[in-house]
């Protein structure tokens, strides 16, 4: 009856899940590169569209920057000279490409208010905002991972319930209010930190980090609460998967199965959230800078708004959007590193 000897015949395999298509069998490096290239092209397109949108919105703004700067009584020829100096005397399309072309080589134009290069202003502020966002991201991840894994491993037990209650509260706390409370407790009452200001990096990395610590905690804790919940629920989903049962049947203990097979699979949705959180941290740092009087991008952009220094606003916004899109690109690459299935899809 069973005349067929055990053999593996490719003929009966549905094509979409077999390895008989070349792409699935190609070496990992090549497929990874192809994947990266595809994401890179998509990144370029996003940046191009985003820049057009930002430029167009700013263009809608009523008023002429030159007459705003010189006041209503300015002479027509001085106005024309200023327009030429600011590069406003050419067509809109031309100005868009000048703007983009300048940014590619690091020239962001000249501030309408301060008459100094925008790139220099942004660079100075970026040294506060970017370290702050990264500091907060590191803190939030460092807190969320162990907490989420702990809660998942003790599902339904008192430890889990306590942690989940705390994260529920953490999500509800506005970070800038939390920052004010931190200032009240740790700066005003305990005097462990300064209530605000930034010491600068010249006095050493530690001094700089010390003045960014309270802002970073204020930013990180609410995000950590979200991330810990995502980590937990993602792990719990994985715990229900068939392959976790297979792992247990091999003789792995519950804990070994969780660490060896659960965590890496659970990372896939967690990475998405980390990518999204970066943009929240960046935006959040703009708000938090107000609480701590930090000389970051946030302060720059609010000053620019009140001075109607639109070229600064435009450039800062473009920079923020660039950062978010780039981080999402990196997250896409991280996906492929975690999940081999993505690599073999073109």
Partner 1 sequence: MSLLEIENLSLSIHGTDILKQVNLSVAPGQIVAVTGESGSGKSMTALAVMRLLPQGAVTDGAIRLSGSDLLNQSETDMCALRGAAIGMVFQEPMTALNPVKTIGDQVMESILIHKAMPPTRARDRAEEVLTRVGLPSDRFPLSRYPHELSGGQRQRVVIAMAIALRPKLLIADEPTTALDVTTQAQILELLRGLVTEFGMGLLMITHDLAVVADMADQIVVMRHGEVVESGATGHLLRNMQHPYTRMLFDASGHQVALPEPAQSQPLLEVTNVVRDYPLPRKSLFGSPGHYRAVDHVSFTLNRGERLGLVGESGCGKSTLTKAVLGLEEVQGGDILLDGQPVFSGHKPNLAVRRKMQVVFQDPYGSFNPRHRVARLITEPFHLLDAPPTNAERQDRIAEMLSAVGLSPDDAGKYIHEFSGGQRQRIAIARALIIRPELILFDEAVSALDVSVRAQILDLLVELCEAYDLTYLFISHDLSVVRTITDRVMVMRAGIIVEEGETESVFSDPKHQYTKDLINAAPTLPDIGRNVA
Partner 2 sequence: MSRNLILGACLSSLVVLAALVSFVWTPYDYAALNIPDKLQPPNAQHWFGTDHFGRDMFSMIMVGARTSIAVALVAVGIGMALGVPLGLTAAARKESWLDELIMRGNDLVFAFPSLVIAILITAVFGAGAINAIIAIGIFNIPVFARITRGAALSLWEREFILAARVSGKGAARISAEHILPNVANLLIVQGTIQFSLGILAEAGLSYVGLGAQPPTPSWGRMLADAQTMVSFAPHLALIPGLAIIVTVLGLNLLGDGLRDWLDPRIRVARA
Residues lying near partner 2 in the complex (CB under 8 A): 42, 45-46, 49-50, 53-54, 57-58, 60-62, 168-169, 171-177, 180-181, 183-184, 188, 226, 229-230, 233, 273, 276, 279-280, 282-284, 286-287, 290-291, 298, 301-302, 304-305, 308, 310, 313, 316-317, 320-321, 324-325, 328
To 10 degrees, the CA torsion angle through 166, 171, 172, 177? 100
Question: Residue 42 Cβ, how far from partner 1 at the closest point, in Å?
Answer: 12
Question: In the Cβ-directed half-sphere of 1, how many Cα atoms lie within 13 Å?
Answer: 0
Residue 75 binds partner 1, judged by CB under 8 A: no
CA distance 210 to 198: 9
**Interaction of residue 341 with partner 1, rule CB under 8 A:** yes
- The item of partner 1, partner 2, none sharing an interface with residue 342, based on CB under 5 to 8 Å by kind, is none
* CA distances, 135 to each of 8, 203, 216, 284 (Å): 53, 18, 6, 13
Q: Binding mask 42-71 vs partner 1 (x if CB under 8 A, - otherwise)?
A: ------------------------------
Per CB under 8 A, does 7 bind partner 1?
yes
Is 246 a residue that touches partner 1 (CB under 8 A)? yes
Near partner 1 by CB under 8 A, which window of 71-79, 119-127, 136-144, 237-245?
A: 237-245
Residue 169's binding partner, choosing from partner 2, partner 1, none, with beta-carbon cut-off 5 to 8 A by kind? Answer: partner 2
> Helical H runs in 105-174?
118-153, 158-172
Q: Is residue 241 involved in binding partner 1 (CB under 8 A)?
A: yes
Contact 47, 320 (CB under 8 A): no
Residue 14 lies near partner 1 (rule: CB under 8 A): yes
In whole angstroms, what is the distance from residue 280 CA to residue 219 CA?
Answer: 9
Residue 38 binds partner 1 (CB under 8 A) = yes
Candidate residues 97, 177, 201, 243; the one interacting with partner 1 per rule CB under 8 A: 243
Instruction: Report the distance separating Cα 274 and Cα 142, nearest Å.
Output: 12
Residue 231 and residue 204 in contact, taking contact as beta carbons nearer than 8 Å: no
Query: From the list 146, 159, 165, 340, which residue makes contact with partner 1 (rule: CB under 8 A)?
Result: 340
Tokens, residue 205: 């990395």
247 is an interface residue for partner 1 by CB under 8 A: yes
Find, among 283, 325, 306, the residue nearest to 132 by Cα: 283
Contacted entry of partner 1, partner 2, none for residue 45, CB cut-off 5 to 8 Å set by kind:
partner 2
Alpha-carbon distance of 96 to 91, in angstroms, equals 9
Tell the smallest beta-carbon distance from residue 330 to partner 1 (Å). 19
For residue 57, the minimal CB distance to partner 2 (Å) is 5
Strands of the chain, DSSP E: none
Instruction: Establish if 34 lies at the interface with partner 1 (CB under 8 A).
Output: yes
Out of 44, 204, 245, 293, the only residue in the binding site for partner 1 (CB under 8 A) is: 245
Residues 6+ apart with CB under 8 A from 125: 295, 296, 297, 299, 300
CB of 79 or CB of 310, closer to partner 2 = 310
Radius of gyration of the chain (CA): 26
Taking CB under 8 A as the criterion, which residues in 249-268 touch partner 1?
Answer: 249-253, 256, 260-261, 264-265
Number of Cα atoms under 13 Å in the Cβ half of residue 95: 17
Sign of CA dihedral 113, 115, 119, 120: negative
Any contact of residue 21 with partner 1 (CB under 8 A)?
yes
């Amino acid at each position: 009856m069973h005349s067929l000897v055990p053999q593996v015949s490719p003929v009966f395999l549905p094509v979409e899940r077999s390895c008989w298509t070349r792409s699935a069998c190609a070496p990992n490096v090549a497929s990874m590169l192809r994947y990266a290239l595809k994401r890179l092209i998509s990144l370029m397109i996003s940046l191009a569209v985003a820049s057009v949108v930002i430029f167009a919105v700013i263009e809608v703004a009523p008023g002429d920057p030159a007459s705003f700067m010189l006041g209503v009584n300015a002479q027509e020829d001085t106005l024309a000279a200023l327009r030429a100096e600011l590069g406003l005397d050419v067509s809109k399309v031309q100005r868009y490409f000048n703007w983009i072309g300048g940014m590619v080589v690091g020239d962001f134009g000249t501030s309408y208010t301060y008459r100094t290069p925008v790139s220099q202003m942004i660079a100075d502020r970026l040294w506060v905002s970017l370290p702050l966002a990264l500091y907060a991201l590191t803190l939030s991840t460092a807190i969320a991972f162990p907490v989420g894994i702990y809660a998942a491993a003790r599902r339904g037990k008192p430890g889990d319930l306590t942690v989940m209650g705390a994260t529920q509260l953490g999500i509800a706390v506005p970070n800038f209010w939390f920052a004010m409370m931190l200032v009240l407790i740790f700066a005003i009452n305990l005097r462990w930190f300064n209530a605000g200001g930034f010491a600068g990096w010249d006095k050493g990395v530690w001094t700089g980090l010390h003045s960014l610590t309270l802002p970073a905690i204020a930013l990180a804790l609410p995000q950590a609460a979200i991330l810990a919940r995502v980590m937990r629920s993602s792990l719990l989903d994985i715990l229900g998967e068939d392959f976790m049962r297979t792992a247990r049947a091999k003789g792995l203990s519950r804990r070994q199965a969780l660490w060896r097979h659960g965590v890496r699979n659970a990372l896939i949705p967690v990475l998405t959230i980390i990518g999204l959180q970066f943009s929240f941290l960046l935006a959040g740092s703009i708000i938090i800078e107000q609480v701590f009087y930090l000389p970051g991008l946030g302060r720059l952009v609010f000053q620019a708004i009140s001075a109607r220094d639109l070229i600064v606003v435009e450039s800062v916004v473009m920079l923020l959007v660039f950062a978010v899109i780039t981080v999402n690109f990196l997250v896409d690459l991280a996906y492929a590193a975690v999940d081999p299935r993505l690599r073999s899809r073109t």
